[in-house]
Amino acid sequence: MVSPKTMMIIGVLVLVLVLITCATSQPTMTTEEAIDCATVTALVTSCSTFITYGSPDPIPGSPCCDAMISLDLIANSTDNRQSVCKCMMSLITTYNPNATAIATLPGFCGVPLGFTIDPNTECNDISMSGN
C-alpha cells in the first residue's frame, strides 16, 4: 500500500504537470471570464482518483476537498462564480462518463459552491446569493 505522504507527493507532481500543460496549451481568458478554466481544472485534478475510480470518497481535509474549498474561495464574486460554473460544466461535458463523480465533489467535501454541477445549470443566472 502506498503511504499517504507518497500519495500527496504524487498528487502535487500531477498538479504541477497539469498546471504546466494547461498554461502552455490553454488560450488566454477573455474579458468575460474572470477565472481561467486551467485553474479550475488543476484544482479538480486533485480529485482525479475519485473521479476516475469512484473511490476513495473525498473527505474534508483531503487534498481533493481542499481543492473544492479553493474553488469556493476563488468564486468570490458573481463573475468569478459564473466562470467557475462554466468551467465545471465544461469538465462534466468533456469527462461525461465521470460527470456524476465530478458533480458530487462539493457535497462530499461539504463545500457549497453556490450552484449545482449539472448540465442544465444556467451559469449566467448565478449570483453571489446562490442558485
pLDDT digits (tens, 9 = 90+) for 93-102: 998 889 999 9
Predicted local distance difference test score (pLDDT) of residue 26: 41
pLDDT higher than 80, residue 31: no
Q: What is the pTM of this model?
A: 0.71
The single-letter code of the amino acid at 4 is P
Higher-confidence residue of 27 and 48: namely: 48
Report the mean per-residue pLDDT for the chain: 80
Q: How far apart are CA 110 and CA 98, in angstroms?
A: 20
Predicted local distance difference test score (pLDDT) of residue 3: 57
Predicted local distance difference test score (pLDDT) of residue 20: 38
Predicted local distance difference test score (pLDDT) of residue 4: 53
For cell 507527493, the residue is 9
User: Check: CATH 1.10.110.10 for 33-125?
Assistant: yes
pLDDT digits (tens, 9 = 90+) for 60-94: 999 999 999 999 999 999 999 999 999 999 999 99
Q: How far apart are CA 102 and CA 124, in angstroms?
A: 20
Domain boundaries, the chain: 33-125
